[in-house]
Each structure stands twice: as C-alpha cells, then as structure tokens.
Structure 1
Amino acid sequence: MQKIAPTALALVAAIGLSACAGMAPSSPMFSQAALPDAVKVPDGHRVVMETVGVGEITYECRAKAGAAGVFEWVFVGPKADLNSRAGAKVGTYFGPPATWASSDGSAITGTQVAVSPSTPGNIPLQLVKANPATGAGAMQGVSYVQRVATQGGVAPSLPCDAGSTGRKEVVKYQADYIFWKAA
C-alpha cells in the first residue's frame, strides 16, 4: 500500500471542501404527515416554497347577523410579510381576497378548502386551493397553500357590544405558509 504524504492529504481535503463551499445546505422539505387529513394537500403535489408569515390580523366588532342584540368580533383581513426560512423577505400576504404576492411580481388568490383547529389561542390550520397566478414568477403553477404552525391571530378577548360596534382591533400572528404545485 502506498503512503500519502500529509501535505498531499491536506491538499486533497482542501480541494474537496472548496468544491462543496458553493452548495447550499439541504434542508428537509416540509412533511404534512402529522397534519389532520382535512388540511393535507392531495397526492400528486410537491412543495415548491416554504415561508413564514409574520404580521397582523384586523378584527371589527359588529352586530351578529340574524341574532338581534348579539355582537361579535369579525375577521376583516390579514397583513403579513412572507419570509424565507432564513429570514429574508420574499413576499407579502394580505386581503381580502386572500392574496399571496411574491417579491418577483407574481401573485395568487385562493379559496378556502378546509380548516382544522390548532392549539388554543392560535388561528386554525388551513388548506387553500389557489387560483391561477398573475405575473410570471414563483407563484406560477401554485395549486395549493397550507397555513400551518400558527401562533396567535385569534379574535380579541376585549368586550364586543353595542357600545363598541365598529371598533377595530389588530392582533399579531405568525404562521408557516407552504406552497404546492402539481408534481
């Protein structure tokens, strides 16, 4: 067996490491295995983008439809930044209608398919069927969006009564938005 000089071994190791230096570390793609069936994306789709939405949801105190003298906090709309897993802003989420807009100019709206309860104090998990995208870019071809890992965002615990009708309250929230395309 031939003996390799320590300097030659170090050179081979350095070349090998430099070849890998430009490669991004691979992170496992999102798995929906632990999600309730109601909010799972149908087979035949793959994850194309994972984002963390950080923002706020506005609620308004209104009279409850069909219930005289009863008032409730009603969802008005969200406003959030969509960040990559590394923390870089990659888009925004706002509504109504629910709209996910990429920083590249592409955007989608969607229709809710299902919700499933999250942990207490957090908005529900959600599955949305995407409408065709506008603009070319990351949102092109997105077929589903999942809202998972929700934190906060529930209606205020403040009183909502005749004296506070029309009052708006903003609550903070965070959620992962997972974007899927047909495989």
Structure 2
Amino acid sequence: MKSTHNILWAYTKSASVTLAMVTGTAALITACSGVAPLPKEYSQDQLDSQIMVPPGQVVALETTASGLLHYECKANATTAGTIGWVLVRPEADLLDRTGKTVAKYSGPPATWTHIDGSSVVGTQVALAPRVGATNLPQQLSTGASGTSPGVLQNITYIQRIKTKGGQDLSKTCTQTELGNKMTQSYQADYIFWKAA
C-alpha cells in the first residue's frame, strides 16, 4: 500500500508536467501568432493603365528601394533653349519583401544589379502621376537583361510605383546656377516582370 506522501508526490509531479506542457503550448501558439503572414500576390489593380504590364507576364521580384537622386542644373538636352534640373545619377539599395538587400540601382543608363550578378537595364516607356508635387512619377520601363544568369535574367518590364520624394525641384536653376548640384532622397517599389 502506497503512503499518502508517495501518492501526493505522484499527483504533484503529474500536475507539474501537465502545467509545463500547457504553458509550453501556449507560448508556442503566442510565438507563432507573431509570425507575419505571407505577402499577398502582387496586383496591378490600383495602378494607372499606362504603367500596367501587358498580359502574359509574371512577377519575378518585388522590391522596395531607398536611395538618392543626384541632379545638376544644366541645359535640357530634350528641350532646346531651356535650363533645368537634370537627373545625372541615381543610387539606391533594393530590399526584397523579407527586408534583405538583394540589388542596387545605378545609372545612367538605369541599371539594376542583383547580388547574384544578374542585371537589367531599363528604358522608360510610360509615366503616371503620383499624388504629391515632390514625389517622382510612377514609371514603366522595358528591360534588357545582361548576360549573367540569375534573378534579373530575362526581365521584360520594370515598374516603379509607390514613390515618395525625389523630385523637389523648386530650388532655382537659371543661367547663373548652371553646374550647381542637388541631391534628393527618395523611396519607391520596383517590381520586376518576365514572360510567363
């Protein structure tokens, strides 16, 4: 016959194990509930039609960029006889949806280089206004990929959307300011597409 002490000890041990299991399960459930859900599939539904990618394309990479745009006060090559702020060099780091830096943006020409060595050069084909006078317009470019294999190989289109900043060109730029330089910070999402 077991003593009362042994029975009490067995119940206490059993209760402690049960409590540890319940507490551990609750902690695990709480930890899992903090895990971010998978990002939704990219949609063009809210974009202006002129910067939408045509059918038959799929998203190859979604990124968020933060960087600088360097301007110079100079004669505008596309509009003879005018002077204004001309973009001479962009630079930005691109992060994927997990927050990892995966590419760099530079130019001219507009070039995105992935950490795997692949790259793509963009040629602007359309712009769409972005709310806010100092925000860059949204943009659609065609892509010409480099020869190195990787994520940016065979890219057909690049979208620049959700722009913020980068275009406060209110500083004076006249004949007397020719050669002056100005740097603007900006943010944007770059979406890279390839044929399905």
TM norm structure 2: 0.77
User: Which whole-Å CA distance do the structure 2 matches of 1:44 and 1:123 have between them?
Assistant: 28
2:51 to 34, 39, 48: 39
- Where does residue 178 of structure 2 map in the other structure? 165
Identical aligned residues as a percent: 44
- Where does residue 141 of structure 1 map in the other structure? 154
For the 8 Å contact 1:78–1:94, the answer to whether it is kept is yes
- Where does residue 180 of structure 1 map in the other structure? 193
- Where does residue 13 of structure 2 map in the other structure? none
User: Which whole-Å CA distance do the structure 1 matches of 2:80 and 2:96 have between them?
Assistant: 43
Aligned partner of residue 143 in structure 1, secondary structure: strand
C-alpha offsets along residues 35-86 of structure 1, whole Å, 9 cap, x if unaligned? 011000000111121001110101111134522xx53111112100011122
Number of residue pairs the alignment of both structures matches: 166
- Where does residue 91 of structure 1 map in the other structure? 103
Matches within 5 A, 1:13-162: 25-64=37-76, 65-67=79-81, 70-120=82-132, 121-162=134-175
For the 8 Å contact 2:166–2:186, the answer to whether it is kept is yes
For the 8 Å contact 1:108–1:134, the answer to whether it is kept is no
User: Which whole-Å CA distance do the structure 1 matches of 2:105 and 2:145 have between them?
Assistant: 16
For the 8 Å contact 1:51–1:178, the answer to whether it is kept is yes
For the 8 Å contact 2:144–2:154, the answer to whether it is kept is no
Aligned partner of residue 149 in structure 1, secondary structure: strand
TM norm structure 1: 0.82
User: Which whole-Å CA distance do the structure 2 matches of 1:73 and 1:155 have between them?
Assistant: 10
For the 8 Å contact 1:147–1:178, the answer to whether it is kept is yes
For the 8 Å contact 2:66–2:187, the answer to whether it is kept is yes
Gaps of 5+ in 1: 1-6
User: Which whole-Å CA distance do the structure 1 matches of 2:89 and 2:41 have between them?
Assistant: 29
Aligned partner of residue 50 in structure 2, secondary structure: helix
User: Stretches of 4+ moved more than 4 A in 1?
Assistant: none
- Let me know the Cα RMSD of the aligned residues: 2.2
Aligned partner of residue 100 in structure 1, secondary structure: strand
